[in-house]
A and B are shown apart, each in its own frame.
Chain A
Amino acid sequence: MGRYIFRQSLLTLAVLIAVSIVGFILLRASGDLALRIAGSEAMADDVERIRVSYGLDQPLPVQYINWAWNILHGDFGRSLFFPEQVSTLIIQRLPITLGLALLGLLLALVIGLPLGVLSALRPNGIIDRVVLAVAVLGQAMPPFWFGLLLIITFSVGLGWFPVSGADTWLHLVLPSTVLAIAVMPTIMRLTRSGMIDALRADYMRTARAKGLMPLTMLIKHALRNALVPVVAIATVQLGSIIGGSVVLETVFGIQGLGYLAWESINRADYAVVQAIVLVLGAIYCLLTFISDVLHALLDPRLRDT
């Protein structure tokens, strides 16, 4: 197990380095960054001055190495807009995004798991069909649109929740609902198929023959096995929720990492964007790593491959 963890962490590190390189190249090579910072009406001289003073005139590999070297020393650079260091900005905004993502995932698990188990008990029964229909509809809804609908109905129409911001718990109800609806279908489907497999397995017949209580059997034997892939997916889903926070935070005006990214993109504040790409990539890598290790802990067969 120790060797497995060691190898996975090396791999994760390699992926992270690759992510930083690809992200860096994509942001620098897709257009003239200096021109974007200066704005389209700027004089050619000003553009050149910006290019030189931000070091954008150097070859790409040199720029990357400088940037990476600074990051290894804890310096993510300076924002073009905010007086704070980029690292301070990120530390300020990250908890909001993480908290919201966790809340959304938790909500999805609390609703999705029981529904998945219920529909697995009677495949193609009434509950199963209703749950499946809800899942299919939930997957088809664009999250930002669903968020706006919730705002129109509950904030503007009924006045139950504030329209935007993230100052109180009430602010988080609508955005975490949107997240939960987006993630729930996957969790529900996976729980359902896992439970169907587990209920058909031989050890379930043995348990039944031993005369175990149906509920004990269901929870202790079947659910535990069905949960393995769900746990793995849930961690990865958390990563993609955080990665996709840009859209949702813009809709609800939540001052998290995603909103910061969107603002910074529109201001050509590339140091902030670059750092956020790296941080989001790192969070995703970390979560996949945790998911892999958890998976290997729960299923020893995976460790050797």
Chain B
Amino acid sequence: MSTESAVAKTSATQYGPDGFGRTAKRWLSNSGITVGGLLLLLILFSTLIGPMLLPHDAFDQSLVHRLKPPVWQGGSFEHLLGTDHLGRDYLARLLWGGRISLLIGFSTIVVAAVFGTTIGVLAGYFGGTIDLVARFLIMVRLALPAVLIALAVAFIAGPSLQLLIIVLGLLLWDRFAVVARATTLQLRHTEFVVAARAMGCSNLTIIRRDILPNIGSQLIVIGTVELANAVLIAAALSFLGLGVQPPLPDWGLMISEGRQYLLFSPYLITLPGVAMMLLVLAVNLLGDGIREVTDPEAKGR
């Protein structure tokens, strides 16, 4: 798409008679948003509703039915994706595991976004010493080996879901801060901010009314990147035994439990990985799409 038509489209959406409709149309014509969004909706829907519709519970063990292969490898339709080493239905566990991944992902980015955006906006808006401190904090955070620290803290404090979310949130805020700072820096000298200040608005009002709404779309894009990141890191921690604890079904934990049966039941490992890949893929596609739509210069990058 050429730059002119992108500009024309943007201005049309702003000044056109039917602004909302055109915006919606522009968003929906982006393949990343439609494909990624639909996939994410599908995952959300099936993980939230799915476990209730299945005949098997994710926690019901049955030693008679252990390690039943999936239906395409000679299993029965009773257990579509087979069963694990304790005879629990694998499909039910996969869907339940999706709930946990989504819970971890979304809660983590809320923590990270609040923390990172606060630091970034303050640094960009006030500049000076605050900016210096914020930049230093970001550098320190980047130099800390995140996975290692999360593992060590989980071991010492005893692994739990809440701890996992807090630790990951406090380790993944840096990109929010970087982007919020850079964007606020650009906005600080725009006419509408200067005008608001001349009108006597307080700093808090300016940040709330003029700055935050204008950095929202960038933050959403970062949010998708970090959501994918959080899901992957949390899975890695669970895989190493210091994230989500059994008997809860987490995808990383399921892969780690399946390692012993790698030789004869590789589906125990492949299926949770594919599920994770689909989730991350959906979130990444959606994020790329939102960036393309909200930032015409990023088109084709």
**Chain A residues with CB under 8 A of B71:** none
Tell me which of B152, B158, B255 has the highest count of chain A C-beta atoms within 10 A of its own C-beta.
B152
B40 to chain A, nearest CB (A): 13
| Residues on A with beta carbons closer than 8 Å to the beta carbon of B152 | 26-27, 30, 265, 273, 277
Identify the interface centre among B149, B157, B252, B277: most chain A CB within 10 Å of its CB: B149
Cβ–Cβ contact B255 & A140, under 8 A: no
Complex contact A149–B270 (CB within 8 A): yes
B151 touches A (CB below 8 Å): yes
Tell me the interface secondary structure of chain B in the complex: helix
Stretch of B41-49, B103-111, B208-216, B234-242 contacting A (4+ beta carbons < 8 Å)? B234-242
Tell me which of B18-26, B121-129, B196-204, B261-269 binds A: B261-269
CA of A243 to CA of B236 in the docked complex: distance in angstroms?
Answer: 14
Contacts of A32 in B (CB 8 A): 156
Pick the interface stretch among B7-15, B57-65, B74-82, B135-143: B135-143
23 pairs, CB–CB < 8 Å, chain A vs chain B: A18-B136, A19-B144, A31-B158, A36-B156, A124-B300, A136-B284, A136-B285, A137-B281, A139-B228, A140-B280, A140-B281, A142-B280, A145-B235, A145-B273, A149-B269, A152-B262, A247-B147, A247-B236, A276-B148, A277-B148, A277-B152, A280-B148, A281-B143
User: Does A156 sit at the interface, judged by CB under 8 A?
Assistant: yes
Known contacts A30-B157, A247-B240; can you find 4 more A-B pairs with CB under 8 A? A142-B232, A189-B301, A196-B300, A277-B148
Min CB gap B10→A, angstroms? 20
Smallest beta-carbon distance A244→chain B, Å: 6
Q: Tell me, yes or no, whether B259 is within 8 Å of chain A by CB.
A: yes
Q: Does B165 contact A (CB under 8 A)?
A: no
Indicate if the CB atoms of B145 and A281 lie closer than 8 Å.
yes
Chain B CB within 8 A of A148 CB? yes
CB distance from B175 to the nearest CB of A (A): 13
Cβ-defined contact, B156 with A33, below 8 A: yes
B276 in the interface, Cβ–Cβ < 8 Å? yes
Which A residues are within 8 Å of any B CB, using their own CB?
11, 14-16, 18-19, 22-23, 26-27, 30-33, 36, 123-124, 136-137, 139-146, 148-149, 151-152, 156, 189, 192-193, 196, 243-244, 246-247, 250, 258, 261-262, 265-266, 268, 273, 276-277, 280-281, 284-285, 288
CA distance A284 to B269 in the complex (A): 32
Which of B136, B146, B263, B280 lies in contact with A243, CB distance below 8 A? B146
Smallest CB separation, B84 vs chain A (Å): 16
Q: Which of A30, A246, A277 makes the CB contact (< 8 A) with B240?
A: A246
Q: Which residues of A contact B255 (CB under 8 A)?
A: 144-145, 148
Contact present for B151 and A246 (CB under 8 Å): yes
Check if A149 sits within 8 Å of B140, measured CB to CB.
no
B153 close to chain A: CB less than 8 A: yes
- Closest B residue to A14 by beta carbon equals B136
B192 at the interface (CB under 8 A from A): no
CA distance A189 to B46 in the complex (A): 33
Residues of chain B with a CB closer than 8 A to A189's CB = 301
Contact of A152 with B236 in the complex, beta carbons under 8 Å: no
Across the interface, do B300 and A152 meet the contact criterion of CB distance under 8 Å?
A: no
Would you give the shortest CB distance from B138 to chain A, in whole angstroms? 10
Top 5 A-B pairs, shortest CB-CB distance? A145-B273, A31-B156, A243-B145, A140-B280, A140-B281
- Residues of A contacting B259 with CB < 8 Å? 148
Contacts of A23 in B (CB 8 A): 144, 149
* Chain B residues with CB under 8 A of A140: 228, 277-278, 280-281, 284
- The distance in angstroms between the C-alpha atoms of A31 and B158, with both chains bound, is 8
Residues of B within 8 A of A14 (CB): 136
The residues in B between 271 and 293 inclusive whose CB is less than 8 angstroms from any CB of A are 272-273, 276-278, 280-281, 284-285, 288
Are B239's CB and A247's CB within 8 A? yes
With most chain B CB atoms within 10 A of its CB, the pick from A123, A151, A262 is A262
Is A265 a contact of B151 with CB atoms below 8 Å? yes
- Is there an interface contact between A36 and B232, defined as CB atoms closer than 8 Å? no
Q: How far is the CB of B185 from chain A (nearest CB, A)?
A: 13
Chain B residues with CB below 8 A from A288, complex form? 139, 142-143
How far apart sit A189 and B142, CA to CA, in the bound complex (Å)?
22
Q: Within the complex, which residue of A18, A26, A143, A151 is in contact with B149, where a contact is CB–CB below 8 Å?
A: A26
B221 vs chain A, min Cβ distance (A)? 14
